[in-house]
Amino acid sequence: MRKIIQECQKGNKGEFVHIYDAYVKKIYNFSYYKTNHKETAEEITSKTFFKALKSINAFDAGSGNLNAWLYAIARNLIIDYYRGRKDANIEDFYDLSSGEDLEADIDNKEKIESVKRYLAKLKPEHREMVMLRVWEGLSYGEISEITGRSEESCRMMFSRVIKKLRDDLPIGVLLLILNI
């Protein structure tokens, strides 16, 4: 990916399509989890890649993490989206849909609703930590870059959240949350 970034920075913006193809689904899913609205998630995803392309020259491929950089752009756009809405609270919009048709199955729908209820009880930063670490599969370093917390702080927060979930949740719900 570093070579593609370098090509984009040299002015060959057509190479950016490889970055887009590699990350569009992840960024869309992240945006959808946060907004629970298809069109809004599409718009945020589009803006994320537009901003990334526009500022690709500012990205340091040698020391930066592209994955974390893209998520940080998306996260900031989501925050801006909610700041612009007087009737919305960013903490109310955590959808767990994975893009599969899980809700067609009644049993899965009940499990998803159960997971939503349990996650709604968590602090917003804890929900975000679970989403980024478990569903998005990001490293602690990437999460650190996205959230502005230290890697150790991210590790500790995730560990505490998982311990709390293990203590509080039925095993079936915990396994669904952890995507096992």
Give the pLDDT of residue 168: 74
- Cα angle 160, 162, 163 (rounded to 5 degrees) comes to 65
- Measure the CA–CA gap between 40 and 8, rounded to whole angstroms: 27
Give the pLDDT of residue 112: 60
Instruction: Quickly state the pLDDT bin for 37 (edges 50, 70, 90).
Output: confident
Which part of the chain is CATH 1.10.10.10?
A: 102-180
Q: CB-based contacts of 126: which residues, under 8 Å, 6+ apart?
A: 157, 161
pLDDT in tens, 108-167: 456 566 666 777 788 888 888 888 888 788 899 999 988 889 999 999 999 998 888 777
Task: Check: CB of residue 52 under 8 Å from CB of residue 69.
Answer: yes
Mean pLDDT for the chain? 79
Q: Greater confidence, 102 or 72? A: 72
Q: Indicate the pTM of the whole model.
A: 0.61
Instruction: Find, among 48, 66, 46, 47, the residue nearest to 5 by Cα.
Output: 66
Q: Greater confidence, 61 or 157? A: 157
Task: Check: CB of residue 39 under 8 Å from CB of residue 140.
Answer: no
- Cα angle 84, 145, 78 (rounded to 5 degrees) comes to 15
DSSP state for residue 178 in the 8-state scheme:
T
* pLDDT higher than threshold 70 for residue 173: no
CATH fold, domain 1-90, is Rna Polymerase Sigma Factor; Chain: A (1.10.1740)
Give the pLDDT of residue 180: 45
Q: Greater confidence, 106 or 25? A: 25
CATH number for the domain formed by residue range(s) 102-180: 1.10.10.10
- Measure the CA–CA gap between 41 and 60, rounded to whole angstroms: 27
Q: What percentage of the chain has pLDDT greater than the value 90? A: 33
Give the pLDDT of residue 22: 93
* pLDDT higher than threshold 90 for residue 35: no
Instruction: Quickly state the pLDDT bin for 170 (edges 50, 70, 90).
Output: low
Kindly tell me the burial class for residue 21, based on how many C-beta atoms sit within 10 Å of its own C-beta (0-12, 13-18, 19 or more). exposed
